[in-house]
A and B are shown apart, each in its own frame.
Chain A
Amino acid sequence: MRAVIAEDLFLLRDGLTRLLQAHGMQVIAAVDNGAALLAAVIADRPDVAIVDVRLPPTFTDEGLRAALAARRAVPGLPVLVLSQYVEQIYARELLAGGAGGIGYLLKDRVLDGAQFADAVRRVAGGGTAMDPEVIARLVDRSSADGALATLSPREREVLGLMAEGRSNAAIAARLFITERAVAKHTASIFLRLGLQPSDDDNRRVLAVVAFLGR
């Protein structure tokens, strides 16, 4: 798997590169600003781009804008955005297109190398990897309104784990229920959110979009 990294702090850029290499991935470019990221993804067509939200020159949400621009330039490019803090509005902007291949994680998550590499692979495979901290706050308030209010607490829990990017098997293990029970919950979630039984993977993404995009 070929990855591009955009991170302005040398220590983190270096660490990320080594981490991905240790998990069998190839880092074809490691850049320190948004413009270089855009050039790299257009030139090298990587399987995934890993982008820090805060990049020069503005040191605000430059990285997020660069990631969105990269996805416009290379449609379907899987992007994993890393940040020192997570905000729902940023998650929504990333998912606004309704397409998969989006990750949004706290930087802390790189401390668990294996899990992080797992998230990178899921995003590269077209799935989602939303940070549990975003999901936790969403689950807290999703009882307040919208179609999500019709979901049972258990279904909201399953949807949250789905948004984090977990497979049915992983969700089953986390919630101590059978995989068949998880499948039943996901079918019910899709039904209540009005998602047609087409491509299951895409439906999972759309459910997450519905979850975030109220």
Chain B
Amino acid sequence: MDGRTGAPEQAPGHGRWSWIGEGAVAAARGAGLCGLAVAGSVLLLALLLPLFMTGLEIGLLVNGPGHWPVAQAVGERVLPLAGLAVSLLLYPAVLLAVRRLATVTRRLAGDWCAVPISDPYLNQLADGQSGYRARLRWLADPATRRDGQWLAVNTLGGWILAAAPAGLMVYGLLCLLGGSQGHPVVAPPPAFPGTGPLVLILLGAVFIAVGLWAGPRLLRGYGLLARWLLGPSGQAALALRVAHLAQTRADTIDTGAAQLRRIERDLHDGAQARLVAMGMTLDAADQVLGDNPAAARALLAEARESSVKALAELRALVRGVHPPVLADRGLAEAIRALVLDLPLRVHFASELLGRPPASIESAAYFAASELLANVTKHAHAGQAWVDLRHRDGTLRLGVSDDGCGGADPARGSGLAGIERRLAAFDGVLALSSPPGGPTVVNMEIPCALSSPKTSSC
């Protein structure tokens, strides 16, 4: 879903000739990246244009027009000034284009070079905030400057890494062509012994093979180079982390406050009101006790009924705040209890050797509860699967069903709410729910397990 979920796993190559296909793909992708590099060079010029124009103007002022024959020829000082004005006017658009290009490069580095790069920008444009000044504020972001540096590095030679696979192969093909026609089409490498047809064919084959073999590796190198400048610097990564923490902390506090308000309201409207009613009923019973024992008895029965209802409401409230079985037995047993109460067949598997911290247990439990409630309500599923395990310092919870699919986090607030709550623990949620199903939800929360408590039986 985002950079934090880690690098996509490289699919292992199948068959002994798969490297040829991979190499060809890498060459094509490298050529595409070269195209981007050309666009980047143009943008780099646009970025530097105001500087150049200013320099020109200063040069004119200091030295007089006589030393600048070109400018003199096209109209003395008007051109540099006009150029400066135009380039400054266009500057925000250029900045936007640079950022778009960098963003595309980041995505392609992840998709094509297997080097995922996360976004380094600090001051993203908020909705409704746009225009000249807001864009110019991007200049204060170190990431913008690093984008510019990337354009320079890419223009000055970075592109060679991306172009190399295709270049090697084209050179090899030209050698082959020369070999088949009997005379070289391109010059062979210097100090190459002879240009006979067989030698040229052999040379071409070797170059093509090297290009194919080295393609993915060169592309990866290009990706790493891009990450060096396009990825967040150490300081930017920290700043992003701080922004993320501030956001999730605010969310957590809001959620906690909202829950407290809900508890207060539930107590006020539920148990508290019933206790008041009970007291009044008991008082009434007290008053009629002497004259009308039958009526008193009825009132007492009513009071008892009130107390039963108050208890039921308190029980429901406690379940919603922190289910007792979660406190008693931990996450796995609590989810097992949850699953037992559902009106459909749920296969539950768990591998937990110990207990996560209580707050994470609670978050995971309510996430599972919400997801299973969704399955029962919306999925029209026959069966569901819940899988709970802890591997590599990460708690993983998977919930899937064979229902109708089509779950959309954007429509209901449920999934978004889970995602927000998990974010407080740096947890992530991945959803796959094509129309027609099946729906698969995976959650991951980094955490350590405490040593297992002594088991009950």
Contact = CB atoms under 8 A, between A and B. Distances in A.
Given A88-B341, A89-B336, A111-B307, A61 B318 contact: no
Interface residues of A, number: 24
Contacts of A107: 311
Nearest to B310: A108
Interface stretch (A42-50, A137-145, A168-176, A185-193): A137-145
Contact of B343 (A93, A111, A144): A144
A140 B343 contact: yes
A196 interface: no
Interface string B322-345: 001101110001001100111111
A60 B329 CA distance: 8
Contact of A111 (B304, B318, B329): B304
Contacts of A143: 343
B10 interface: no
Contacts of B312: 108
Count class of interface residues, chain B? 20 to 34
A61 B319 contact: no
Nearest to B309: A108
Given A111-B308, A144-B344, A60 B327 contact: yes
Given A85-B315, A88-B337, A111-B308, A64 B456 contact: yes
B345 A145 contact: yes
Contact of A89 (B315, B333, B342): B333
Contacts of A68: 456-457
Nearest to B455: A65
B337 A89 contact: yes
Interface in A90-109: 90, 93, 106-108
A137 B341 contact: yes
Q: Which 10 residue pairs of A and B lie closest in terms of their CB atoms, listed nearest first?
A: A60-B328, A61-B328, A88-B340, A141-B343, A145-B345, A108-B311, A89-B337, A144-B345, A87-B337, A87-B325
Interface of A: 54, 60-61, 64-65, 68, 84-85, 87-90, 93, 106-108, 111-112, 137, 140-141, 143-145
23 contacts: A60-B327, A60-B328, A60-B329, A61-B328, A61-B456, A64-B456, A65-B456, A84-B311, A84-B324, A85-B324, A87-B325, A87-B337, A88-B340, A89-B333, A89-B337, A93-B456, A107-B311, A108-B308, A137-B340, A140-B343, A141-B343, A141-B344, A145-B345
Interface of B: 304, 307-308, 311-312, 315, 318-319, 324-325, 327-329, 333, 336-337, 340-345, 456-457
